[in-house]
Structures are given as structure tokens and as C-alpha cells.
């Protein structure tokens, strides 16, 4: 699988740690997403994403991709909506912002979490009139 610039940036700028992530596919479209505590970002990643790393704050990354007939993936624009449900079944909407960097498009959302907790993320995207959905969970340990 080819790695997009956004995913490469996330993978290279975060110290080695388990990342909660998921890929959802619909035909030639893909929705890639990952969730991590903002404190796991390196200073370079935090600056690139304009995120202030602090305990209790996390980052959701979403990339929408379209594969051509040769299997090459290119990021595409879309509409992304996200929310999280904590262990107490409290639902929180996650505001999403679009980031464009050197021809790549990806989406970022910052959220709050009070460890210890496990958040279940629900991500919906509208890409070229098609709906993609995914769900992933991430545990957050007490400091």
C-alpha cells in the first residue's frame, strides 16, 4: 500500500507508539483515519498541525483517497464529520478542519479526553457523492 504524505508525516513525527487507526473502502474510494493523544506528537508535528500538545487533548487525522486503475492513491476533497463516545456514553462532536499541503488534502480534528477512558470514534465522509463510514476505538491511560 502506498503511504500518503499526510500518513507519512504522522508516522514519522510521532514517537513509536500504538496508533488507533482504520481504513474504510467503497469501490475506488478509501477513508483513512487515526486517533492519538496530542502529547505523542513530536514538536515538529505539533507545529505542522498547529496543535498544542497537552494532557487530555487528542488529534484525529482523516485522509480521503481515490485509487486509479494502477492502484495509485491520491487524496481527494470531501466533507468529514466526526464524533466520539466515551465510556460513560457521552457523545462529543469533533470539529474537523481541512489542511492542504503540497497537493495533498487531509482533515484534522482535536478532541478532549479525561483518562483513563476509551473513546469510540465515529467518522463519516461524503466523497464525490458517496458516503464512507468508519468506527475505531482508542484507550487513554491515566498519566
> pLDDT band for position 59 (50/70/90)?
very high
Block residue for cell numbers 467518522: 123
CA neighbor of 77 nearest in space, from 125, 135, 114: 125
Give the full edge-to-edge strand order of the sheet including 79-85: 91-94, 79-85, 117-127, 130-140
Helices (H) then strands (E): counts for the chain: 2, 10
Provide the β-strand partners of residue 24: 31
- The total number of structural domains in the chain stands at 1
CATH number at residue 98: 2.60.40.3340
Question: What is this structure's pTM?
Answer: 0.83
Give per-residue pLDDT as tens, 83-110: 999 999 999 999 999 999 888 999 999 9
CB atoms within 10 A of CB 134: 20
Block residue for cell numbers 465522509: 125
> pLDDT band for position 3 (50/70/90)?
very low
Give per-residue pLDDT as tens, 26-46: 889 999 999 999 999 999 989
Distance CA 84, CA 112 (A): 10
Residue ranges making up the domain that contains 134? 5-140
CA of 114: how far to CAs of 14, 19, 87, in Å?
A: 21, 18, 10
Checking if the pLDDT of 5 tops 50, the result is: no
Q: What is the mean pLDDT of the chain?
A: 86
Checking if the pLDDT of 140 tops 80, the result is: yes
CB atoms within 10 A of CB 43: 9
Spatial contact of 104 and 124, defined as CB atoms under 8 Å apart: no
Please give the pLDDT value at position 11.
44
Amino acid at each position: 500500500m502506498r503511504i500518503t504524505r499526510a500518513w507519512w508525516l504522522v508516522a514519522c513525527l510521532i514517537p513509536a507508539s500504538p496508533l488507533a487507526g482504520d481504513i474504510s473502502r467503497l469501490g475506488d474510494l478509501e477513508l483513512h483515519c487515526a486517533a492519538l493523544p496530542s502529547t505523542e506528537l513530536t514538536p515538529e508535528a505539533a507545529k505542522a498541525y498547529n496543535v498544542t500538545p497537552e494532557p487530555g487533548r487528542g488529534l484525529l487525522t482523516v485522509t480521503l483517497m481515490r485509487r486509479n486503475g494502477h492502484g495509485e492513491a491520491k487524496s481527494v476533497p470531501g466533507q468529514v464529520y466526526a464524533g466520539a463516545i466515551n465510556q460513560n456514553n457521552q457523545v462529543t462532536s469533533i470539529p474537523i478542519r481541512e489542511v492542504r499541503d503540497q497537493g495533498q488534502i487531509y482533515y484534522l480534528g482535536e478532541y478532549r479526553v479525561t483518562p483513563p477512558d476509551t473513546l469510540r470514534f465515529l467518522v463519516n465522509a461524503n466523497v464525490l457523492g458517496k458516503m464512507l463510514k468508519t468506527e475505531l476505538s482508542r484507550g487513554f491511560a491515566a498519566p
